[in-house]
């Protein structure tokens, strides 16, 4: 019944069906015998590890397994949580899980070092108990000056702002600076010729208190100035930097103990194969999205400098082929950056892909922003929402929903475009496969290898566009507008 309706409904349909059957037969006759009997699929199986993770050490490959397992668990859990009705805490848990998972996965893959009590005390000791510093009385000014500065700023903050967060910050800063100076303060100091020895803390605490008192009265008199409150935002990081310089002078004299290696470091240049392909595309997608949204908003900004920078960035990047950007990221990037800032080739490729994608996303998002009617902005403003909330709560959500298909299309094309890094010499899936077919052992397996690559890219891309359609459906894009 189905066949008669759909395949032989009219004479034109019948003709098309016959043509299609013929075409399928031709393709199958050419390829099936090769697929089933001649193809040497062993080339994939024997290079399983290399294709999967490149030069990542085989004895560390279990970490990839754990990472994959974590992702799977998170995936299944979120699938389950998404079906729960309403706003359950499980959903929030899942969102947090997805947010922190990139960091955890990165640490898992690259390995990590953690400071141990030994390294912490060693480093603190390095800064505070340097033998060439301690005996010198005049070096006491370091601790004293730091205490005075921090005390002053904490006092000003306390006096200026009744907000609890700011007051907590002031208290924490005072405790921290005391803690930093404590090892120095416990040392006794000889006063006068009589050999009266008192702990330096006896001198230090009053100094901190003096700073606090003085700062508080100063802060109280500044309280009407809004600018003074804004200045605090700059003052705190600035003071932290100054105090670090005072306390350490940044000069290196004594050997420090390196932090302990919890997981063996495997630097990104060793990552390869499917692992590299997935990492490259995930990183580009994750980072390009916020950058792209910011660029799109920047392009519509009323501030001329922000607008000019956004337009310039978007137009330049969109005007250059991805391959060129990848080469520039490899060759030119180090020229623009200070000598000490060295990134490995994988990170440079990630940066190139991210900026490229961000520029395209920015234009997609801008299209979405344009279809949100101005009345929506007016309605939001009339409720008293600030411009930040108008954009973040009313305009952006509508704009992004409208362009989900285009955004996901861009993501799929990023994923496929990662194969271009093979040209700049990275061993992603395609790069690895190309090097495999050049080995004498596997000569003549070109078809098998490329068919495998095609299948891999197809499955992932299809999965992504399927996910996009699910996302659209669950956000109700079609039926709510």
Partner 1 sequence: MTEPIIVCRDVHKWYGHFEALRGVSMEVERGEVIVIFGPSGSGKSTFIRTINRLEEHQQGQIIVDGIELTYDVRNIAAVRSEIGMVFQQFNLFPHLSVLQNITLAPIWVRKWPKEKAEEVAFQLLRRVGIPEQARKYPGQLSGGQQQRVAIARALAMQPKIMLFDEPTSALDPEMIKEVLDVMIELATSGMTMLVITHEMGFARAVARRMFFFDEGLVVESGTPDEIFSTPKEERTKLFLSQILVH
Binder of partner 1 out of 251, 255, 375, 441 (CB under 8 A): 375
Binder of partner 1 out of 397, 425, 454, 463 (CB under 8 A): 397
Binder of partner 1 out of 168, 393, 423, 446 (CB under 8 A): 393
Kindly give, in sequence order, each residue whose CB lies less than 8 Å from that of residue 353, ignoring residues fewer than 6 positions away: 280, 281, 283, 284, 288, 322, 326, 414, 417, 418, 421
- Quote the CA–CA distance of 167 and 405 in Å, as a whole number: 47
State in angstroms the smallest separation of the CB of 378 from partner 1. Answer: 5
Quick check: 11 binds partner 1 (CB under 8 A)?
A: no
Quick check: 383 binds partner 1 (CB under 8 A)?
A: yes
State in angstroms the smallest separation of the CB of 232 from partner 1. Answer: 18
Q: Are 271 and 49 in contact (CB under 8 A)?
A: no
Query: Which of residues 167 and 401 has its CB atom nearest to partner 1 in the complex?
Result: 401
Among 268-276, 311-319, 370-378, 446-454, the segment contacting partner 1 (CB under 8 A): 370-378
Quick check: 371 binds partner 1 (CB under 8 A)?
A: no
- Quote the CA–CA distance of 207 and 140 in Å, as a whole number: 12
Binder of partner 1 out of 91, 110, 381, 447 (CB under 8 A): 381
Closest by CA position to 242, among listed 140, 123, 150? 150
Among 102-110, 210-218, 380-388, 459-467, the segment contacting partner 1 (CB under 8 A): 380-388
Among 8-16, 132-140, 330-338, 387-395, the segment contacting partner 1 (CB under 8 A): 387-395
- Quote the CA–CA distance of 369 and 392 in Å, as a whole number: 12
For the chain, the first-to-last Cα distance in angstroms comes to 38
Quick check: 474 binds partner 1 (CB under 8 A)?
A: no
- Quote the CA–CA distance of 42 and 47 in Å, as a whole number: 8
The number of CA neighbours under 13 Å toward the Cβ of 239 is 23
Quick check: 131 binds partner 1 (CB under 8 A)?
A: no
CA distances, 438 to each of 38, 103, 113, 205, 448 (Å): 20, 36, 38, 72, 13
Among 5-13, 230-238, 388-396, 435-443, the segment contacting partner 1 (CB under 8 A): 388-396
Quick check: 238 binds partner 1 (CB under 8 A)?
A: no
Query: Which of residues 19 and 303 has its CB atom nearest to partner 1 in the complex?
Result: 303
Q: Which helix (H) or strand (E) holds 196?
A: strand 196-199
Query: Which of residues 10 and 474 has its CB atom nearest to partner 1 in the complex?
Result: 474
Q: Are 257 and 118 in contact (CB under 8 A)?
A: yes
State in angstroms the smallest separation of the CB of 100 from partner 1. Answer: 24
Q: Are 345 and 272 in contact (CB under 8 A)?
A: no
* Residues at the site binding partner 1, with contacts judged by CB under 8 A: 375-376, 378-386, 389, 393-394, 397-398, 401, 476, 479-481
């Amino acid at each position: 019944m189905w066949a008669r309706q759909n395949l032989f409904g009219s004479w034109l349909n019948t003709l098309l069906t016959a043509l299609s059957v013929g075409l399928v037969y031709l393709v199958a006759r050419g390829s099936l015998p090769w697929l089933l009997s001649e193809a040497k699929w062993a080339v994939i199986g024997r290079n399983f590890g290399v294709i999967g993770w490149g030069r990542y050490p085989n004895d560390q490959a279990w970490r990839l397994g754990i990472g994959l397992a974590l992702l799977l668990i998170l995936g299944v859990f979120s699938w389950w949580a998404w079906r729960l009705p309403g706003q359950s805490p499980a959903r929030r848990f899942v969102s947090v899980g997805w947010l922190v998972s990139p960091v955890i996965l990165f640490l898992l893959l690259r390995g990590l070092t953690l400071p141990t009590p030994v390294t912490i005390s060693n480093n603190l000791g390095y800064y505070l108990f340097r033998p060439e510093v301690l005996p010198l009385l005049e070096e006491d000014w370091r601790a004293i000056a730091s205490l005075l500065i921090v005390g002053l700023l904490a006092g000003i903050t306390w006096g200026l702002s009744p907000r609890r967060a700011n007051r907590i910050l002031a208290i924490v800063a005072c405790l921290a600076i005391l803690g930093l100076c404590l090892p120095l303060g416990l040392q006794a100091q000889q006063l006068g010729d009589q050999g009266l020895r008192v702990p330096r803390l006896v001198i230090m605490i009053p100094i901190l208190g003096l700073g606090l008192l003085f700062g508080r009265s100063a802060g109280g008199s500044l309280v009407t100035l809004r600018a003074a409150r804004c200045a605090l935002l700059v003052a705190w990081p600035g003071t932290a930097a100054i105090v670090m310089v005072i306390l350490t002078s940044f000069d290196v004299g004594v050997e420090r103990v390196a932090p302990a290696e919890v997981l063996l470091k495997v630097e990104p240049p060793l990552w390869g194969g499917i692992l590299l392909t997935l990492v490259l595309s995930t990183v580009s997608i994750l980072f390009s999205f916020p950058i792209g949204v910011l660029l799109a908003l920047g392009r519509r900004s009323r501030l001329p400098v922000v607008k000019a920078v956004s337009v310039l960035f978007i137009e330049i990047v969109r005007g250059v082929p991805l391959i060129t950007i990848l080469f520039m990221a490899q060759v030119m990037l180090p020229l623009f950056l200070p000598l000490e800032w060295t990134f490995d080739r994988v990170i440079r490729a990630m940066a190139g892909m991210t900026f490229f994608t961000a520029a395209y996303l920015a234009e997609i998002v801008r299209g979405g922003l344009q279809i949100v009617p101005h009345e929506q902005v007016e309605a939001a403003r009339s409720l008293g929402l600030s411009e930040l909330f108008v954009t973040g709560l009313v305009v952006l959500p509508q704009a992004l929903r409208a362009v989900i298909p285009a955004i996901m299309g861009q993501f799929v094309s990023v994923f496929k475009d990662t194969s271009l890094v093979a040209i700049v010499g990275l061993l992603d899936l395609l790069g690895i496969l190309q090097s495999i077919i050049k080995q004498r052992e596997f000569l003549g397996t070109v078809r098998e290898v490329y068919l495998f690559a095609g299948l891999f890219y197809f499955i992932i891309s299809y999965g992504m566009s399927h996910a996009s359609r699910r996302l659209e459906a669950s956000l109700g894009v079609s039926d709510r507008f």
